[in-house]
């Protein structure tokens, strides 16, 4: 699959309905979709075969993009015996933006942990802008997250803003007002790596949407806790597209303890 084919390959997949959906707030986007782990024959598994996976989608934090494009990945992971929570959150243009988007992610993670029994390992998986949200959430004191798998993440918010990624998406997220640089820094994973939470980053070398340099800059700031895995010839969407070789790499890391 070429880099140009990655986006239509992912977005062309039919959404997969969850087993159930729970709300963690009054806004329509304050919800978490739950996918029950299943055995190879499709029957519900008696017990989960791995950690609780909390998925955070990307879309540069904008309301035009929602969680549904990651539902095939959520269903695929559940079919491999993993309990999965696909979290939605308020986004720019529909009641979101800083700090509401960040608060929703924290609340969504807490709701997922409450709703999925077991009390075991919690792996936070974020793609693109969801990678920024995952890294930021894991840095909050008292987070229940055991480790983070950030996929093609916007891991250096200041650099993303300087590059004007996606027509100024960072400025839209942070919002107007004085002290923009300080407010970006407060939400920048590169400025506040999660203490004691291991981070694995998967990032394609040919990513046209989020440059690999952002992940390299993040890893350089926190080398002791970050494992950066560069995916040769891979773009932005293949790692979260079920069936692709780079998605198999993601799955392998989810089963790594």
pLDDT tens-digit series, residues 91-140: 999 999 999 999 999 999 999 999 997 768 999 999 999 999 999 999 99
| SS3 label, residue 6 | helix
pLDDT tens-digit series, residues 239-248: 999 999 999 9
Residue 215 CB-half CA count within 13 A? 29
How many whole angstroms separate alpha carbon 198 and alpha carbon 196?
Answer: 6
DSSP-assigned states of every residue in 97-136: STTHHHHHHHHHHHHHHHHSTT---EEEEEETHHHHHHHH
- Asked if 212 and 233 touch (Cβ cutoff 8 Å), the reply is no
* Domains of the chain, CATH where assigned: 3-254 (3.40.50.1820)
- Asked if pLDDT for residue 172 goes beyond 70, the answer is yes
Within a 10 A sphere around the Cβ of 242, how many other Cβ atoms? 19
- Asked if 233 and 104 touch (Cβ cutoff 8 Å), the reply is no
pLDDT at 41: 56
């Amino acid at each position: 699959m070429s880099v140009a084919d990655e986006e239509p390959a992912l977005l062309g997949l039919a959404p997969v309905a969850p087993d159930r959906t729970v709300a963690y707030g009054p806004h329509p986007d304050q919800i978490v979709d739950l996918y029950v782990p299943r055995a190879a024959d499709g029957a519900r598994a008696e017990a989960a075969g791995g950690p609780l996976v909390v998925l955070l989608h990307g879309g540069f934090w904008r309301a035009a993009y929602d969680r549904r494009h990651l539902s095939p990945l959520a269903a695929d992971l559940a079919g491999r015996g993993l309990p999965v929570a696909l979290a939605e959150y308020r986004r720019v243009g529909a009641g979101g933006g800083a700090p509401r988007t960040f608060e929703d992610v924290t609340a969504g993670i807490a709701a997922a942990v409450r709703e999925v029994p077991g009390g075991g390992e919690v792996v936070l998986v974020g793609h693109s802008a969801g990678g920024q949200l995952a890294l930021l959430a894991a840095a909050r004191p008292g987070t229940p997250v055991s480790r983070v798998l950030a996929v093609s993440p916007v891991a250096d918010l200041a650099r993303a803003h300087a590059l004007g990624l996606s027509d100024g998406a960072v400025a839209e997220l942070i919002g107007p007002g004085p002290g923009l640089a300080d407010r970006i820094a407060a939400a920048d994973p590169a400025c506040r790596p999660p203490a004691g939470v291991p981070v694995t980053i998967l990032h394609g070398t040919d990513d046209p949407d989020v440059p690999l340099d952002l992940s390299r800059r993040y890893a350089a700031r926190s080398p002791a806790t970050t494992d950066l895995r560069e995916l040769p010839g891979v773009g932005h969407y293949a790692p979260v597209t079920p069936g692709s070789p780079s998605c198999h790499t993601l799955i392998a890391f989810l089963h790594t303890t």
